[in-house]
């Protein structure tokens, strides 16, 4: 018995090693590249116009890098964003130049340092800036003013924050805290951030450090970012020493076809279409329960073979069916057969060879009573020996 189960176990491990991964279902249109470098590119995204759903989901795979890097760009918006990863409803992208604004008082020698504002505009695209982003402002006396065109509340008004610091003894800035403030951003189609020089308010003598930075990116761990305040006098040093601020991707929510609703042909086989009720509409596709795959492809979703990771009791037999599965207990056992459920419970049999037929519907209390009797009988027989 032991060797048999060991063999079975080995066979199981071997079959795991040989079997293709369970998500080997196609994620792209036939004949299309499924990844660029280390990044998976699932449909509706695609590398090249014949592989994506439409131009908004077109990914350019730049093979001049090793490994190659995927980029998302827009036809008439001069945004080129490196793709970090793509998930079911979000895409992480980055372009540290576009995400950053900086201003340096009196630094005439940095004549190209005039990027004191950030403009991110995803209007008329399937993308919106997710509320998983935040605005971080680093500096000692400049204020960042932000405005967003929300697709939920139009003209959401302005917001912003003002970092403040004095020449601290240890010269250390903390985020948020000394020389750094952070503020959340709600879901929006477009965001505009401007660094406003407060020199006229504070006075030149209070200008302890010359530069200020504003950065829009994914919310990170708070309270554990430190930086040298003296770097605020040197934008290049600040950029080099503070990758925590400047390397955070932007989180974008995506959906199909803003300004339209689900139709019968919107999603693939065995999937359902979900209208976005807020904002400018659009929709998502989702595999039906018990199916997996890419619901955006016409071929849609495929049945999950639940029995692959046997969800049944060791005394049960698994049977896969379309969209579902069932467990059947072997002869002499009863129950729903699921590891997750009651499993397979031995049907108690009395010694006097009287078979007690127990249907699934019988009360567990009766069974408990019977098995207790059985146990008592055994104990008393042991005692007699």
Ligand X SMILES: *[C@@H]1O[C@H](CO)[C@@H](O)[C@H](O)[C@H]1NC(C)=O
Residues making contact with ligand X (CB under 6 A): 48-50, 76-77, 84-85, 87, 92, 97-98, 112, 115, 121, 123-124, 249, 259-261, 281, 311, 340
Q: Is 128 helix (H, G, I), strand (E, B) or coil?
A: strand
Which residues, at least 6 apart from 368, have a Cβ–Cβ distance to it below 8 Å? none
The least distance separating ligand X from the CB of residue 263, rounded to whole angstroms, comes to 9
Q: Between 115 and 241, whose beta carbon lies closer to ligand X?
A: 115
* 239 vs 281, beta carbon nearer ligand X: 281
Q: Which residues contact 254 (CB under 8 A, 6 or more apart)?
A: 89, 90, 91, 126, 127
At residue 135, what are phi and psi to the nearest 5 degrees? -105, 125
The smaller minimum CB distance to ligand X, of residues 63 and 260, is found at: 260
CB nearer to ligand X: pick between 88 and 166: 88
| CB 119, min distance to ligand X, A | 7
Shortest Å, Cβ 127 to ligand X: 11
CA distances to 13, 167, 234, 332 from 349, in Å: 36, 84, 84, 9
In a 13 Å sphere around the CA of 366, the CA atoms on its Cβ side amount to 9
Comparing CB distances to ligand X, the nearer of 84 and 191 is 84
Q: How far is the CB of 354 from ligand X (least distance, A)?
A: 36
Q: Measured from the CB of residue 24, what is the shortest distance to ligand X in angstroms? A: 19
In the bound complex, what is the minimum distance in angstroms from residue 124's beta carbon to ligand X?
Answer: 4
The structure tokens listed for 7 are 């063999």
- CA nearest 251: which of 213, 276, 217? 217
Whichever of 178 and 296 has its CB closer to ligand X, that residue is: 296
**Distance between CA 300 and CA 287 in Å, rounded?**
8
**56: DSSP letter:** G
């Amino acid at each position: 018995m032991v060797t048999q189960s060991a063999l079975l176990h080995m066979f199981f491990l071997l079959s795991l090693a040989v079997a293709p991964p369970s998500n080997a279902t196609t994620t792209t249109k036939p004949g299309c590249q499924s990844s660029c470098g280390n990044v998976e590119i699932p449909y509706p995204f695609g590398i090249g116009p014949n592989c994506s759903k439409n131009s908004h989901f077109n990914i350019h795979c730049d093979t001049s890098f090793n490994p190659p890097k995927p980029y998302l760009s827009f036809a008439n918006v001069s945004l080129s964003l490196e793709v970090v990863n793509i998930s079911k409803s979000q895409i992480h992208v980055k372009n540290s130049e576009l995400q950053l604004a900086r201003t340096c008082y009196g630094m005439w020698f940095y004549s190209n340092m005039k990027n004191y504002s950030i403009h991110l505009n995803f209007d008329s695209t399937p993308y919106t800036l997710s509320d998983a982003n935040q605005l971080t402002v680093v500096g000692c006396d400049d204020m960042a003013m932000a405005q967003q065109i929300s697709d939920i509340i139009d003209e959401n008004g302005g917001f912003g924050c003002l970092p403040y610091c004095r020449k601290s003894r240890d010269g250390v800035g903390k985020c948020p805290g000394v020389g750094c403030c952070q503020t959340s951003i709600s879901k929006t189609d477009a965001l505009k951030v401007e660094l406003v020089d407060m020199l006229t308010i504070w006075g030149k003598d209070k200008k302890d450090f010359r530069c200020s930075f504003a950065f829009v990116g994914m919310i990170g761990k708070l309270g554990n970012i430190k930086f040298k305040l003296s770097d605020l006098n040197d934008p290049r040093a600040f950029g080099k020493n503070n990758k925590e601020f400047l390397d955070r991707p932007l989180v974008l929510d995506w959906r199909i076809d803003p300004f339209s609703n689900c139709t019968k042909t919107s999603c693939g086989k065995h999937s359902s279409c979900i209208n976005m009720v807020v904002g400018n509409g659009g929709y998502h596709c989702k595999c039906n329960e018990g199916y997996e795959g890419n619901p955006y492809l016409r071929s849609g979703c495929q049945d999950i073979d639940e029995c692959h990771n046997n969800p049944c009791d060791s005394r049960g037999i698994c049977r896969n069916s379309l969209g579902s599965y069932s467990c059947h207990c072997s002869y002499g056992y009863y129950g729903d057969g699921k590891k997750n459920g009651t499993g397979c419970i031995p049907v108690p049999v009395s010694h006097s060879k009287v078979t007690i037929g127990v249907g699934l519907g019988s009360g567990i209390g009766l069974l408990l009573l019977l098995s207790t009797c059985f146990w008592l009988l055994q104990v008393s027989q042991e005692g007699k020996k």
